[in-house]
């Protein structure tokens, strides 16, 4: 799927190094693929957390 939007972000050196390592490993072709995969996982995690019931005695979205 072609990119619809371009967004420039500032990353720390450890994040840049991780992205470069992922590309160098051959698992991803571009840094953009690494970032998109990471964001998809974050979205999945947030959705899973939203579905999880609040602990007893705690109000949801507290």
Q: What is the pLDDT of residue 32?
A: 96
pLDDT tens digit sequence for 5-61 = 999 999 999 999 999 999 999 999 999 999 999 999 999 999 999 998 878 877 766
Domain presence at residue 33: yes
Domain presence at residue 29: yes
What is the span of the domain harbouring residue 30?
A: 13-49
Domain presence at residue 56: no
Q: What is the pLDDT of residue 50?
A: 93
Is a pLDDT exceeding 90 seen at residue 4?
Answer: no
Domain presence at residue 30: yes
CA 46, 51, 56, 57 dihedral sign is: positive
Q: Give exposure, 11-31, as e/b (b: 16+ Cβ within 10 Å).
A: eeeeeeeebeebbeeeebeee
* 3-state DSSP assignment of residue 48: helix
Domain presence at residue 58: no
- Domains in the chain, number: 1
Domain presence at residue 1: no
Domain presence at residue 28: yes
Domain presence at residue 59: no
């Amino acid at each position: 799927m072609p990119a619809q939007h371009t967004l420039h972000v500032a990353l720390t050196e450890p994040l840049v190094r991780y992205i470069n390592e992922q590309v160098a490993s051959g698992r991803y072709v571009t840094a953009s693929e690494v970032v998109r995969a990471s964001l998809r996982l974050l979205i999945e995690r947030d959705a899973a957390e939203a579905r999880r019931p609040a602990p007893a005695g705690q109000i949801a979205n507290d």
